[in-house]
Amino acid sequence: TLTSGPTYSSGDADSDGQVDTTETWIYAATFAVPQSDINLGGTYSNTATFDTAQTNAYASNAATTSITQTSSIQIVKSWLFAIPAHDLNSNGLADLGDTITYRYDVENIGNVTLTNVVVADSHGGSGPPPTPDDEAMVTDVAPALDSTDVTSSNELWSSLAPNDIARFTGTYIVTQPDFDNQ
């Protein structure tokens, strides 16, 4: 179904409202491609039909448009430490046994819905690396609710639509070797 049109644009050179033998009338129509079609890829083929009371219907040649799919993702990692329960001695410094929380904001910057989004952290600390889980939707660009997470806190975001951002979090507990290796 067309989004708009067809709408007459130009061509009636003598403004008589009749298609004369020397005239070419131009019409415009638009179609908004739904996300589901972009995800499938392929092509759109469009044929216009022109009809008058004096002629049989005439079909144009098909105009074919290819759908370009672009899969792209961006991740921004940040950390939080100022949570009182994480700073065991409340000195504002990351000390032995304190917890650092990392946030991983994953944004779909392509035009295709991404599935099974997973984040891994190759952490430089001496203890076990953070496990990015506890995922949540941070930014849900219209249409709303087009990104889904079937199972929460399983280290995987099920379906991330274009321009949406899912956040994973993971924690790291500061170890003695972290200080010894400085």
Q: For 149, left (φ over 0), alpha (ψ -120 to 50), or beta?
A: beta
Residue 116 has pLDDT above 80, yes or no: yes
* Burial classification of residue 130, based on how many CB atoms lie within 10 Å of its CB (0-12 exposed, 13-18 middle, 19 or more buried): buried
Q: Which residue has the tokens 């190759």?
A: 122
Neighbours of 102 (CB within 10 A): 19
The whole-chain average pLDDT of the chain stands at 90
Mean per-residue pLDDT, 118-124? 89
Share of the chain above pLDDT 70, in %: 99
- Please give the pLDDT value at position 140: 93
Confidence bin at 49 (pLDDT 50/70/90): confident
pLDDT in tens, 91-105: 888 888 889 999 999
pLDDT in tens, 2-28: 899 999 999 999 999 988 999 999 999
pLDDT in tens, 68-79: 999 999 999 998
Residue 110 has pLDDT above 90, yes or no: yes
- Please give the pLDDT value at position 182: 65
